[in-house]
């Protein structure tokens, strides 16, 4: 089957980010003080466990960022046409989860719908819970084998997970044993993950592991799709604001004078507008722009993506001020250092001084603030989506999941699984990011020795 690749703006930026990371790693290797910092991080078990978990999330997110439009069945005499729906590689991998939708809510691992419906059975009308179309479909109408089926699937998954863990353990041990890396915690994290993922994956072949939502979509699928949205918000926001923050911060601190005044005025003004309200105002305006320029977007995925990118940009505008202020302070301190004075005495141009002497020496602040911002941005997305100023309602994200599930809390009995799934995935992601940020800060902050 042929397809047409689609590169959404956020995909392109994520790719750019990966390239920037690779470049940063290459550049950082030659910077002694950065290498020492990362080496410290690599020796910390918590840091490496968190990094492993984050890497898994990043892989899922990147798989979800390779978009394409499948070709429609060819009609004779017409040029090949492509579906309007934009799919990602992750969608293809999880195709059963995406396609096998039920009618409405069903509980995790259920075989029947969550609400009663009128069923016509041999002329008599009965109110009962209808059988699910896909959940436990392999059992047929005989539910006697339910327990055995679940148990055998779970065991198969555990066995698979165990096998995968063994492979990870052997390979990583060989590869990393002689380096100064906390490889045991990496292996331990991967073992736990594969022991969890194995049964979930096997059960997902026959059941809805986390149940289904109001329109019958598999909640596990939604949770996995949310990962990309969280990653995009957490990383692209920083990527967008970073150049401005670094440039303005260093220039303000080093050049001083009226330039400093102007830049300080700029960030004090932006800072004094309450963040949520600025975001709300900007998103309201973006909605108007998007609504009035429907012709810019050919697919709904592109429109949702434009909104996501706009959200990142707005969050960037509200969040660069903190970093800028920190960098200004640091540059102010550094410009009085002997080596900078010496460079100036030798007649080195200001631009070169800033690039070669100031930038490398404020990098630790930049790194710390990137990792610290990530978790708060992921959390912010959920809140903003709840107030309807977050991502597009059609974009799958933790915020939209929580928002949809919240409406059903008043139901009796409670529909809890959407919230539980969103909670688990979001908690794992943010906790990993927070732990990693802690380790990175400990390693790079010169005040903590």
Partner 1 sequence: MLAYIIRRLLYAIPILVGVNFITFALFFVVNSPDDMARMQLGVKRVTPEAIERWKSDHGYDKPLFWNGKAAGASKVTDTIFYTKSVRMFVFDFGRADDGRDIAREIKMRAGPSLAVAVPVLILGLFAAISFALILVYFRATYLDAGGVVICVAMMSISSLFYIIGGQWLISKLWHLVPISGYGGLTEGRFLVLPVFVGVVAGVGANSRWYRTIFLEEITRDYVRTARAKGLAEGAVLFRHVLRNALIPVLTGVVVVIPTLFMGSLVIESFFGIPGLGSYTIDAINAQDFAVVRSMVFIGSVLYIVGLLLTDISYTLADPRIRFQR
CB of 212 to partner 1, least distance (A): 20
Binding range to partner 1, per CB under 8 A, among 31-39, 88-96, 168-176, 424-432:
424-432
Which of 277, 337, 351, 355: binder of partner 1 (CB under 8 A)?
A: 277
- 25 vs 414 by CB, closer to partner 1: 414
Quick one: 6 or 233, whose CB is closer to partner 1?
233
- What is the C-alpha to C-alpha distance for residues 381 and 376, in angstroms, rounded to an integer? 9
Closer Cβ to partner 1, 82 or 423, answer by number: 423
By CB under 8 A, tell whether 345 contacts partner 1. Answer: no
CB of 421 to partner 1, least distance (A): 12
From 261, 345, 324, 445, select the one nearest 337 (Cα to Cα). Answer: 345
Residue 414, interface with partner 1 (CB under 8 A)?
A: yes
Q: In whole angstroms, how far apart are CA 177 and each of 182, 191, 338?
A: 9, 17, 42
Contact range with partner 1 by CB under 8 A, out of 33-41, 70-78, 357-365, 420-428: 420-428
Min dist. Cβ of residue 120 to partner 1 (A): 36
Query: In the set 2, 291, 336, 346, which binds partner 1 (CB under 8 A)?
Result: 291
Within 8 A by CB and 6+ apart from 70, the residues are 1, 3, 82, 83, 85, 87
| 260/139 Cα distance (integer angstroms) | 72
Closest contact distance (angstroms) between CB of 295 and partner 1 is 12
Positive or negative: CA dihedral 44, 48, 54, 55: positive
φ, ψ of residue 49 in degrees (nearest 5): -60, -45
Site for partner 1 contains 387 (CB under 8 A)? yes
CA distance linking residue 436 with residue 448, whole number of Å: 16
Q: Which is nearer to partner 1, 165 or 185 (CB)?
A: 185
Does residue 394 belong to the site contacting partner 1 (CB under 8 A)? no
Among 103, 156, 434, 442, binds partner 1 (CB under 8 A): 434
Question: What whole-number distance in Å separates Cα of residue 331 and Cα of residue 366?
Answer: 13
User: Among 19, 21, 159, 285, which residue interacts with partner 1 (rule: CB under 8 A)?
Assistant: 285
Among 190, 204, 250, 282, binds partner 1 (CB under 8 A): 282
- Considering only the stretches 34-42, 217-225, 251-259, 282-290, report the one whose residues sit in contact with partner 1 under the rule CB under 8 A: 282-290
- Residue 200 found at the interface with partner 1 (CB under 8 A): no
Rounded distance between C-alpha atoms, residue 272 and residue 275, angstroms: 8
Contact with partner 1 (CB under 8 A) among 241, 379, 391, 396: 379
Q: Does 287 bind partner 1 (CB under 8 A)?
A: yes
Single out the residue of 88, 375, 397, 418 in contact with partner 1 (rule: CB under 8 A): 375
Token look-up 């929580």 returns 402
User: Which among 168, 237, 228 is positioned nearest to 425, based on CA atoms?
Assistant: 228
Tokens of 70: 């499948």
Question: Which pairs with CB-CB distance under 8 Å and at least 24 residues apart come from 379-383?
Answer: 379/430, 380/233, 380/315, 381/229, 381/230, 381/233, 381/311, 382/426
* Smallest distance, partner 1 to C-beta of residue 350, A: 26
Q: Which residue in this structure is represented by tokens 């505008």?
A: 317
Q: How far apart are the first and last CA of the chain?
A: 58
Hey, which residues between 56 and 95 contact partner 1 (CB under 8 A)?
A: none
449 binds partner 1 (CB under 8 A): no
Q: Total residues at the site for partner 1 (CB under 8 A)?
A: 45
Shortest distance, position 219 Cβ to partner 1, whole Å: 16
> Residues with Cβ < 8 Å from 403, sequence gap 6 or more?
385, 386
Contact between 337 and partner 1 by CB under 8 A: the answer reads no
**Binding status of residue 408 toward partner 1 by CB under 8 A:** no
CA 393 to chain centre: 17
Question: What are the phi and psi torsion angles at 68 (to 5°)?
Answer: -155, 165
The DSSP bridge pattern shows strands 67-70 and 117-121 to be unpaired
Q: 106 φ, ψ to 5°?
A: -145, 145
| 427 near partner 1, judged by CB under 8 A | yes
Q: Minimal distance in Å, beta carbon 282 to partner 1?
A: 6
Residues near partner 1, by CB under 8 A: 265, 268-274, 276-278, 280-282, 284-285, 287-289, 291-292, 294, 375, 379, 382-383, 386-389, 398, 402, 406, 409, 414, 419, 423, 426-427, 430-431, 433-435, 438
């Amino acid at each position: 089957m042929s397809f047409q690749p689609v590169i959404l703006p956020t995909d392109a930026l994520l790719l750019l980010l990966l390239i920037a990371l690779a470049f940063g790693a290459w550049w950082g290797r030659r910077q002694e003080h950065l290498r020492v910092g990362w080496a410290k991080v690599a020796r910390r078990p918590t840091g490496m466990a968190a990094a492993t978990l984050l890497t898994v999330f990043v892989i899922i997110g990147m798989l979800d960022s390779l978009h394409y439009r499948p070709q429609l069945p060819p009609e004779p005499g017409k040029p090949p046409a492509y579906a309007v729906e934009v799919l990602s590689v992750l969608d293809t991998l999880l195709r059963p989860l995406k396609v096998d939708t039920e009618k409405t809510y069903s509980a995790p691992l259920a075989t029947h719908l969550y609400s009663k419906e009128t069923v016509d059975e041999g002329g008599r009308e009965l109110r009962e819970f209808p059988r699910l179309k896909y959940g436990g479909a392999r059992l047929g109408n005989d539910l006697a084998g339910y327990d055995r089926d679940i148990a055998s699937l779970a065991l198969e998954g555990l066995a698979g997970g165990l096998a995968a863990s063994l492979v990870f353990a052997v390979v990583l041990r060989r590869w990393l044993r002689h380096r100064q890396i906390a490889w045991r915690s990496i292996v331990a994290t991967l073992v736990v993950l594969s022991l969890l993922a194995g049964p979930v994956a096997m059960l997902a072949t026959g059941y809805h592991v986390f149940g289904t939502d109001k329109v019958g979509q598999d909640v596990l699928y939604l949770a996995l799709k949310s990962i990309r949205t969280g990653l995009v918000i957490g990383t692209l926001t920083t990527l967008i604001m970073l150049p401005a923050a670094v440039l303005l911060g260093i220039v303000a601190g080093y050049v001083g004078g009226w330039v400093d005044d102007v830049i300080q005025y700029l960030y004090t003004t932006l800072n004094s507008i309450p963040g949520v309200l600025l975001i709300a105002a900007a998103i309201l305006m973006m909605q108007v722009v998007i609504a009035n320029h429907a012709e810019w977007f050919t697919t709904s995925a592109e429109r949702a993506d434009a909104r996501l990118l706009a959200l990142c940009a707005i969050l960037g505008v509200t969040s660069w001020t903190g970093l800028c202020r920190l960098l200004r302070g640091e540059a102010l301190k550094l410009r009085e250092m002997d080596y900078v004075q010496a460079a100036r005495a030798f007649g080195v141009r200001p631009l070169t001084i800033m690039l070669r002497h100031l930038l490398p020496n404020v990098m630790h602040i930049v790194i710390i603030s990137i990792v610290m911002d990530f978790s708060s941005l992921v959390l912010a997305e959920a809140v903003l989506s709840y107030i309807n100023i977050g991502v597009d309602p059609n974009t799958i994200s933790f915020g939209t999941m929580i928002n949809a599930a919240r409406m059903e809390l008043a139901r009796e009995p409670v529909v809890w699984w959407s919230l539980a799934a969103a909670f688990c995935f979001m908690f794992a992601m943010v906790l990993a990011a927070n732990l990693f940020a802690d380790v990175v800060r400990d390693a790079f902050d010169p005040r903590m020795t």
